[in-house]
Chains A and B, each alone.
Chain A
């Protein structure tokens, strides 16, 4: 099976391509990218004029909720949400029920993903058993079964010795240790960022220092252990400057930010709407400004959605008691196009670096994140001209918890290909 994409604007920072070109897919792999490829008989031809063609996007931080909370999301619904949002691959966090702290759960996730047959799913294994922060989980067994990184996301590791051991041990597999940085004593029972807005709303705050002290610890431990450390959903200016300093010293530290921290601040929380409640919380304007700068100057390695589906009834609790987290798989790309690319914070090439190339590197997905010859034919096709409105009822996720309801956005995924096969395709509908 040979497919020729013609006339697309191809954006592939991995091969320094950012311009018009043709792309040939053969037997599930990228065969060639060239200015112009004359079609041959028997090829399927796709007219991609006016479209942006990128290596398949990779969301390296999602919660698929299965096993355990299938009312909120399943691997099948989460993957559907992913491919509609332009993501051909996702890395799913282990805070399911049971926690993915064993090869059994890792295999279960991979089997479910295979059965769903859409996005590639890369399980992230737990660092500690039950993510309880006490004993190391069987990291080697999980890696053998297919885990691509480890994290106790959602359950901050307060024990620095455990974190050090996890990093040392993980070095053996050359996997990233992904840390949700939150000092639980400092964060206490806070429900939003501590600052002017929390004082005004009378909500207990979590100061960004709760994140910063853990980032500082992790940077130090990365230097000491040499392990690859990836800071999840980094949200504060001070944390960013610590990552930046670590990078200057060539410490193996990377970081991701979420679209909501790049677009919203704590002053956007209106009417105690719990769709604005997530961890880390929306920060100050100064923090947001720093993140945008870090995006442009290269300090930030990835954009990840932290897709966190929650049952609507549970989100209906009061702000203090509602669960943390919002959806992201179907809104990340259009929000990034609208608020980052169109506003010239970054260009398309940098966006693809953040959403595909770097996540592939951090997760060691060698044949992904690029359109080089021989890479897997994971492709995302985006029509940047389409403007549309984010509407909760139209989301493919099983949950509805997005603060972006009613937002007008530009850019829409019109096709997602995984291994040379369409897993989502709306070329005719959209054009």
Chain B
């Protein structure tokens, strides 16, 4: 079954069957990265442009490696967001890139909605690699893949997403993805970072991390941007960590086989203690590995719309 869409702009408009397809394909691609020669010819002759208007090491490298392992040619454009302040410049930039006949644009931008707006101006695929506070769909896909790897399912799992929900595109994409796949999602953070309007999604809200972690199967910790302190979202890092930081004590409330996840980069001692981040429940580095597999899957499905998902190489 093919993925019937040209772009991946968010998880909101995916249906569970499509998510299942991407995850399955991702799982079948995991093995490629374990080979001595980590390359298959699937996307030979395809050109993928990484267009990053926001600093990013991990996501950009992950997309680049994913593309290269499928034999696509990749080009990186890193725009400082200041020179890209004018939207017309972005649209002009993208129209120029379009003339170079790429097959996909992987776009990260600090403003919500830019991938969607750009998708209306180009013929190639647009993949959202994180836009403002809106969505970060590939992060949610790799998170779901990581959970499935350990739990073999998503349905019925209690997943707690803890931290700065308000500003988080990772939270939004995960909320869409996990609820569509039948998980029970709990959101936790101080009221300043957890707007009541999140109730519109099929989730539970709590200010009490203990309630969120109680018998949880998964804890997804979100990064706290230290400058939020100055904006009075919380009084101090110390107080934040005390209430919402994940340490061994609080983690005991979760199920004995709980997974601790984090989209990175982590702030040790702010939202997560080092012993938990590096501890036996942490799958943070597996998330990174799965990020490559799921991005390979996505590029494959979007760029070869007719291709079979029964991927047999060699």
Q: Which A residues are closer than 8 A to B by beta carbons? A: 194-196, 198-204, 271-272, 313, 316-322
Contacts and interface: CB of A to CB of B under 8 A. Distances in A.
A200 B12 CA distance: 9
A272 B112 contact: yes
Interface of B: 12, 85-88, 90-91, 109, 111-114, 116-117, 120, 131-135, 169, 172, 195, 197-198, 200
A319 B198 CA distance: 21
A321 B120 contact: no
Residue of A195, A202, A320, A321 ringed by the most chain B CB atoms within 10 A: A202
Given A272-B116, A318-B114, A202 B91 contact: no
B200 A200 contact: yes
A317 B91 CA distance: 9
Given A202-B112, A320-B112, A196 B133 contact: no
B87 A317 contact: yes
Contact of A320 (B88, B132, B135): B132
B197 A195 contact: yes
A203 to B, nearest CB: 5
A196 B132 contact: no
Q: Is the interface of A mostly helix, strand, loop or mixed?
A: loop
Contacts, number: 68
A194 B134 CA distance: 14
Contact of A316 (B91, B109, B120, B172): B91
A322 B87 contact: yes
Nearest to B176: A200
Contacts of B197: 194-196, 198-199
A271 B9 CA distance: 11
Contacts of B133: 202-204
A202 B88 contact: no
B112 A203 contact: yes
B6 to A, nearest CB: 15
Nearest to B111: A318
Contacts of B120: 271
Nearest to B113: A272
Contacts of A319: 111-113
B191 to A, nearest CB: 14
Contacts of B109: 318
18 contacts: A194-B195, A194-B197, A199-B197, A199-B200, A200-B12, A200-B200, A201-B113, A201-B134, A202-B113, A202-B132, A271-B116, A271-B120, A272-B116, A317-B85, A318-B111, A320-B111, A321-B85, A321-B87
